[in-house]
């Protein structure tokens, strides 16, 4: 194998796939990126941890074909520091080492034979099962719907993001039991079939990183019983789908919360960050005291002291005091793009809804904390 | 105690002293900053770990006098997040808690009585023992002379920076046994007395941070047998001096190294960073191969591969190969302000001198590593 490639092209390709390659795996080859010549002008880069595979094709001038796997971290370190020029790669297939040259710099980097790399790209894609998706709104929906997933081990369903496809809507949600994020989008569902997918949150996180690097405006989505495949013109992501029945989270969401406050989002985030200097680090509790057009936030620690900040808001209902883990509130707010947000409450123990003022499609629901 | 203070004034004051306050100490009060009213328009902030004390006076409108200690980290967190307005501080002396108000924000922060704070500022300064110093060149000399100090425990002399004051020169140096940094400056030593001081490197590090925050162009230096005192108009640093006989490092510095290369500093640093991707992380060894007007740098690892970069340099002596810990080379080079540096060698086991091309005052000496 021998090829010439622009630094920028291989650098962007490595960025796209390298996160998936992990040294934590027992199989050393999974810390490597597979480099394969595709045709005279194209090189494919692939990384996998079995659950998730990302592959991308980059421009290159192939002088002789072949394939090899190289350690992702070392390869990235080398390429990122090389000059912005043509780089030559040449495999010595007897030693599995690749000679890299750029201007006056030379590297010999020892790889692992491509035959040890798992055969993860061997899948059948039939366009019958494909859906076209606009990248930007899809990424936004994933960002809003996925942050509430639990940090549990990866085989727990609550560590995933659930997608429910109904006749006219795509609904995505995540919950860890204390909070919930849900997004609804109208879609053009041609075959009118309902289905549910549970996607590992590692996949949604990697998709968010990947989508910011993609130039494509549209991607295709394919699903079968065990896999989700996202495909742009040059890149592809293949993810395991989680099996099981996701909890019926929509039952948790109150249909009517009679007490409604309207608050400036950025002011609320700043005030929470200020007040949080004086909260118990283990519980992260901030008290919200609502009265007519006024919100007082209070923090409190046994050893260090107390904090208080007052905000002008719109609120006409009866006075009430309710307490939240302020980190959950901030995470929900940071995923809202609008300046004004609504807080919809019932009692100080009922699930409370935070949502953008004019956007009914996205909610962040948070369970209040019982006050002593 | 009650006072009003501009956010900027107290924030800058806290920045100056807060690094010294440490929660690692057994005495909780040493994690606190002492706040004392000085007169109607001035507040003093002081922090200490016994070895090192920093104190600064900031403008404030004092409404009633008094003193209290407050936790440095919490105080800094609060002040840094408050709006850029007047802040009021009011002590409740029964509870030792201070009420802080700024716009709509309020804090109660629990302190420790000022009577528990050690009496570290009680010193006599006589101007007879004072030397005036220009802050900028003094900071530069300390930066250049101090980085080679050993990371040993703080009572080992090699963890300090040595200052030798002779008839007409101030010489500062540090060494950890593998490398050495030395700076010489001409000074106007009025009393012609020779003396040696060994300053803990914690003091020199804190002075470098502090000097970038000072507005003064000149400071005064006072010494006695046990203390070094640096004093600007509003700030003061009191440091322990280390006791003992510092090794005679000047004997290690070769008077003549016959083989001399002249190299572009930034190119050499970049090349070392590139080549270092493929060095053994434990030994950090890079080989330098000098031949006529050429320097080849080589890295090498048993498992990952090898690296090589070639630089155009000025070199007319016989070919030689010598190996260094590349981190020592980079640290020495980064403290040189000039574009061109000289590398002065003898054999590949003799101490090698790196120095700015036209500056005879600063050298970084490095012991080569034996090659296998």
Cβ neighbours for A335, distance < 8 A, ≥ 6 positions apart: A143, A144, A147, A181, A362, A364
Residues of B in Cβ contact (< 8 Å) with A271: 105
Half-sphere exposure of B183 (CA within 13 A, CB side): 22
Could you say which DSSP state residue A335 is in? T
What average pLDDT score do residues A324-329 get?
98
β partners of residue A44: A36, A57
B273: contact with A, CB 8 A cutoff: yes
Cβ neighbours for A308, distance < 8 A, ≥ 6 positions apart: A275, A296, A297, A298, A299, B105, B106, B107
Cβ of A104 within 8 Å of Cβ of B78? The answer is no
Are B284 and B326 spatial neighbours (Cβ–Cβ below 8 Å)?
A: yes
In tens, the pLDDT along B29-88 reads 999 999 999 999 999 999 999 999 999 999 999 999 999 999 999 999 999 999 999 999
Nearest CA in chain B to A75: B277
What pLDDT does residue B189 have? 63
For A304, which of B71, B303, B305 is closest by C-beta distance? B71
Task: Please give the Cα distance from B303 to B213 (Å, whole number).
Answer: 47
Are B321 and B330 spatial neighbours (Cβ–Cβ below 8 Å)?
A: no
For B108, which of A71, A108, A305 is closest by C-beta distance? A305
Cβ of A305 within 8 Å of Cβ of B106? The answer is no
What is the ipTM score, two decimals? 0.87
Residues of A in Cβ contact (< 8 Å) with B104: 309-311
In tens, the pLDDT along B203-226 reads 999 999 999 888 888 999 998 778
Give the predicted TM-score (pTM) of the model. 0.90
When mean pLDDT is compared across A13-22, A336-345, B129-138, B142-151, the lowest value belongs to: B129-138
Percent of chain A with pLDDT over 90: 80
In tens, the pLDDT along B129-146 reads 788 888 998 899 999 999
As a residue count, chain B comes to 372
Task: Please give the Cα distance from A136 to B282 (Å, whole number).
Answer: 45
- Distances A245 to A151, A168, A198, A228 between C-alpha atoms, Å: 19, 22, 9, 17
Helix H or strand E encompassing B208: helix B201-213
What average pLDDT score do residues A67-71 get?
98
Size of interface A-B (CB pairs under 8 A): 87
Cβ of A308 within 8 Å of Cβ of B74? The answer is no
Cβ of B310 within 8 Å of Cβ of A273? The answer is no
In tens, the pLDDT along A254-312 reads 988 999 999 999 999 999 999 999 999 889 999 999 999 999 999 999 889 999 999 99
- Distances B95 to A300, A325, B112 between C-alpha atoms, Å: 16, 29, 9
A23: contact with B, CB 8 A cutoff: no
């Amino acid at each position: 194998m021998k090829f010439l490639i622009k630094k920028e092209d291989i650098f962007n390709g490595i960025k796209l796939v390298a996160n998936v390659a992990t040294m934590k795996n027992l199989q050393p080859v999974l810390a490597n990126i597979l480099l394969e010549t595709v045709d005279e002008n194209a090189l494919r880069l692939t990384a996998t941890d079995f659950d998730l595979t990302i592959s991308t094709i980059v421009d290159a001038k192939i002088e002789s074909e072949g394939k090899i796997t190289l350690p992702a971290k070392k390869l990235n370190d080398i390429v990122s520091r090389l000059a912005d020029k043509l780089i030559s790669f040449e495999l010595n297939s007897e030693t599995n080492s690749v000679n890299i040259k750029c201007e006056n710099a030379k590297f010999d980097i020892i790889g692992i034979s491509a035959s040890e790399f798992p055969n993860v790209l061997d899948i059948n894609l039939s366009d019958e099962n494909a859906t076209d998706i606009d990248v930007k709104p899809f990424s936004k929906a994933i960002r809003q719907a996925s942050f509430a997933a639990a940090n549990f081990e990866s085989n727990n369903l609550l560590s995933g993001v659930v997608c429910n496809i109904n006749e006219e809507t795509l609904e995505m949600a995540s919950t860890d039991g204390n909070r919930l994020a849900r997004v609804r989008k109208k879609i053009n569902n041609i075959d009118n079939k309902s289905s549910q997918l549970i996607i590992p949150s590692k996949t949604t996180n990697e998709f968010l990183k990947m989508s910011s690097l993609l130039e494509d405006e549209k991607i295709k989505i394919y699903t079968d019983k065990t896999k989700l495949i996202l495909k742009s013109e040059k890149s592809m992501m293949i993810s395991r789908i989680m099996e099981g029945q996701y909890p019926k989270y929509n039952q948790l969401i109150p249909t009517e919360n009679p007490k409604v406050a309207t608050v400036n989002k950025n002011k609320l985030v700043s005030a929470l960050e200020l007040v949080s200097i004086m909260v118990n680090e283990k519980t992260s509790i901030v008290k919200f005291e609502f009265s007519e057009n006024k919100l007082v936030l209070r923090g409190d620690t046994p050893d260090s002291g107390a904090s208080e900040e007052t905000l002008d808001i719109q609120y006409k209902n009866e006075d009430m005091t309710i307490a939240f883990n302020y980190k959950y509130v901030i995470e929900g707010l940071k995923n809202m793009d609008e300046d004004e947000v609504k807080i919809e409450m019932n009692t100080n123990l009922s699930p409370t809804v935070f949502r953008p003022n004019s956007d009914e499609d996205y909610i962040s629901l948070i369970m209040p904390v019982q006050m002593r």
